[in-house]
Structure 1
Amino acid sequence: MINPAKRTNTIELSQIRKMFEATKPGAINLGIGEPDFNVPQNIKDAMKKSIDDNETQYTPNKGYIELREKIAEKFKKDNGIITDPENIIVTVGASEALYISAQAFMEAGDEILLPDPSFLLYESCINLAGGSIVPVDCKMENEFKLKADDVLEKITDKTKAIILNSPSNPTGAVMEKEDIKAIADLSMDHNFLIISDEIYEKIIYDKKHYSPAKYSDNVITINGFSKTYAMTGLRIGYLTANEEHTEELFKIHQNSIACANSTAQKGAYEALTGPQDEVHKMVSEFKKRRDLIVSRLNEMGYETVNAEGAFYVFPKIEDENFVKKAADAGVVTVTGAAFGSKGKGHVRMSYANSYENIEKAMDILEERVVNG
């Protein structure tokens, strides 16, 4: 075997995907972070039309200008971010946006502040870029919300960036406005970058989303269409940053991806400009499922924070064999340790599954794992 590049030594294959691919037939999957809804019909129709119209050539490297114009309007309306279409890049999902952010700005010797627990892709992107991870605890007593005071304690003269994710995968935590603004202020005072992953922005219950780019110029704001519009397989994300930062990001994007999928970009345009009824229905259904899974887990004695966004709960379950027991009983979950050292003693469960299946899964856990 030819030796791989040393950088791959720092990377492990996704434990989430391992669980997903090992799912037994008939098992209820509470492990995968993917909406169980279909792409809204108006978006499908727009993509079908684009193919019929032969709009299948390369697009501009940054994405169709009309799509970037609508994204700029969305940023202003929803996030209070004033940006120009030239400072927006349409990416192959939010994952590419995260990867190019790391490649453009991180290198050996840089310290990157990372919430613990957090989505496992962040750690991989940092490691591939050569950065050093400095974890910042997201404590259960704070409902897993990242606090500005905890961030301040970890800042040094080597701090290059921090990754924020609100609402959070894996905890469902939604950061408070005062912490978002305080961290934005810190980024200006100490001259570090904020990489703000806002992919779950629209899936929030009884709270409001705040973007750090409203308060700081040192921010790369990342979003996409996968979660809000159930467009996971279509791989369309986007980012914005100031002009200087965008130029560096564009170097990586242009020389690795060229452009995002043309047909999916047409669907994304329709997603932003068309009716939002299906989004509202989806979020309302997620909230009902959240209420169900939280109440059932607490009733079983697994302390569970009432997650305020996304579609995950992160119950405290200290039985190290729980995930295996649950899988053997027919319910797929993910060990919290996959998301950082502070995830140990927790389990991530996704409620991106039907209400009926969640009810059935909770019955199985209660009968065969808790009381079995």
Structure 2
Amino acid sequence: MELADRVKSLTPSSTLAITSKAKALKADGHDVVGLGAGEPDFNTPSYILEAAKRAMDEGKTTYTPAGGLPELKQAIIDKFSRDQQLDYEQEQIVVTTGAKHALYALFQVLLNRGDEVIIPTPYWVSYPEQVKLAEGQPVFVNTDESNQFKMTPEQLEESITDVTKAVIINSPSNPTGVLYTEDELKALGDVALKHNLLIVSDEIYEKLIYGNKKHVSMAQLSPELQQQTVVINGVSKSHAMTGWRIGYAAGQKQIIQAMSNLASHATSNPTSISQHAAIAAYTHDETEVHKMNQAFEHRLESLYNWLLDIPGLTCVKPDGAFYLFPNVRQIVDQSPFDSVDEWVKRLLEEEKLAIVPGSGFGAENNVRLSYATSLDQLEEAATRLKRFVEKYR
């Protein structure tokens, strides 16, 4: 049977592939240290679990509106007001089956064949694939360590054509963890407004910010930018709820209504129990969220310093998320391996250390390490990595 053209060019997720291989090795009895998965290692906070249990006991197990429960939409609206001083109406919010599905639905309702979406590199692995599934064309803007992996307004301006429809901004970023400042966002926003580009602001790591840094949403910079921005967010990373699959989008009513209509034919609705759990996440105090954040920050400081002890490795220190994205080109060039991908493969085979090659993120000189695991595991990972590097110097 011939498959549809739209899926023939899809690239499998490199993060899921490396995680799957690591799990297979572990199942075979190997002592594997896995730094591939992009999810918190904490369990979902107990007050959220209790809310889900209550919902089940009370029989809240039926269909909900395709775009989400009104109570959850209101909790999201209150969250925007509390955190970003942004005002939204219920018609401007759609709840989705994870933030990934919010992005997928957005591109499906936004793009026509050949429409271009500007994506800074390094990028989250699913951005270009989702654009291609909507018959759009990803246009990559290359960034690197020299500019802290941030796209400049000049780069954005140079990338715009007559068929550019949108630009994606992910802050803090997966895979780099870098955070755009308010001034940097304003400069990019001015270019987007000038050319009437929709801004897709992926803010899924919004709560994972370290030091004295502050998250700023593109939508909060001006009424004009709020109108021109679709904010993508969810509870997966902030509240350790990856498996619950609740995300959302906030933006223009026309776009949000189209996304809700699409959901009615694609998923019917996000899981009812998960929605009630998400209500609890957004209506409870954030003590547990702050505790997880503190743990992530401590891990970042430790792993970052351990990595800097490895000769030939350079790394931009992240401001948020839970990833480090070091450059290993010098190390690989001094080794017998032909590419970073081959180097990563042998690292897993020989040291049983799973990290993700940067090629899947559009950065062939880098690797991604997730520090969403215990300090003991991170220290062991750094030890194995250093041993592997020294072996092939």
Bucket of the pairwise TM-score, normalised by the shorter protein: over 0.9
The TM-score with structure 1 as length reference comes to 0.96
Match of 1:186 among 184, 191, 215: 191
Aligned length: 369
What is the CA-CA distance between 1:212 and the residue it aligns to? 1.2
SS of 1:22's partner is: helix
Match of 2:315 in 1: 304
Match of 1:347 in 2: 367
What is the CA-CA distance between 1:180 and the residue it aligns to? 1.2
1:53 aligns with 2:58: yes
1:271 aligns with 2:276: no
Deviations 1:333-354 (A, max 9, x none): 01001111xx111111110111
Aligned partners of 1:10 and 1:128 also within 8 Å: no
The code of the aligned residue for 1:132 comes to Q
What is the CA-CA distance between 1:150 and the residue it aligns to? 1.6
Question: For 1:19-58, what aligned pairs fall within 5 Å after superposition?
Answer: 19-23=18-22, 24-25=25-26, 26-58=31-63
| Higher alpha-carbon deviation: 226-235 or 176-185 | 176-185
SS of 2:266's partner is: coil
What is the CA-CA distance between 1:105 and the residue it aligns to? 0.6
The TM-score with structure 2 as length reference comes to 0.91
Match of 2:248 in 1: 238
Aligned partners of 1:184 and 1:213 also within 8 Å: no
What is the CA-CA distance between 1:248 and the residue it aligns to? 2.1
Aligned partners of 1:326 and 1:369 also within 8 Å: no
Q: RMSD between aligned alpha carbons?
A: 1.2
Match of 1:5 in 2: 4
SS of 1:255's partner is: helix
Match of 1:324 among 329, 342, 345: 345
Aligned partners of 1:170 and 1:348 also within 8 Å: yes
**In structure 2, C-alpha distance between the alignment counterparts of 1:350 and 1:169, rounded to whole Å:** 10
Match of 2:95 in 1: 90
Aligned partners of 1:325 and 1:369 also within 8 Å: no
Question: For 1:114-263, what aligned pairs fall within 5 Å after superposition?
Answer: 114-206=119-211, 207-214=213-220, 215=222, 216=225, 217-263=227-273
Aligned partners of 2:14 and 2:125 also within 8 Å: no
**In structure 2, C-alpha distance between the alignment counterparts of 1:370 and 1:325, rounded to whole Å:** 14
**In structure 2, C-alpha distance between the alignment counterparts of 1:362 and 1:203, rounded to whole Å:** 23
What is the CA-CA distance between 1:102 and the residue it aligns to? 0.6
User: Unpaired runs of 5+ in structure 1?
Assistant: none
What is the CA-CA distance between 1:154 and the residue it aligns to? 1.0
**In structure 2, C-alpha distance between the alignment counterparts of 1:96 and 1:287, rounded to whole Å:** 28
What is the CA-CA distance between 1:148 and the residue it aligns to? 2.1
Match of 2:335 in 1: none
1:288 aligns with 2:332: no
What is the CA-CA distance between 1:247 and the residue it aligns to? 2.0
User: Unpaired runs of 5+ in structure 2?
Assistant: 333-338
Match of 2:336 in 1: none
What is the CA-CA distance between 1:144 and the residue it aligns to? 1.1
What is the CA-CA distance between 1:278 and the residue it aligns to? 1.1
1:334 aligns with 2:352: no
Aligned partners of 2:91 and 2:257 also within 8 Å: no
**In structure 1, C-alpha distance between the alignment counterparts of 2:115 and 2:187, rounded to whole Å:** 22
**In structure 1, C-alpha distance between the alignment counterparts of 2:192 and 2:258, rounded to whole Å:** 19
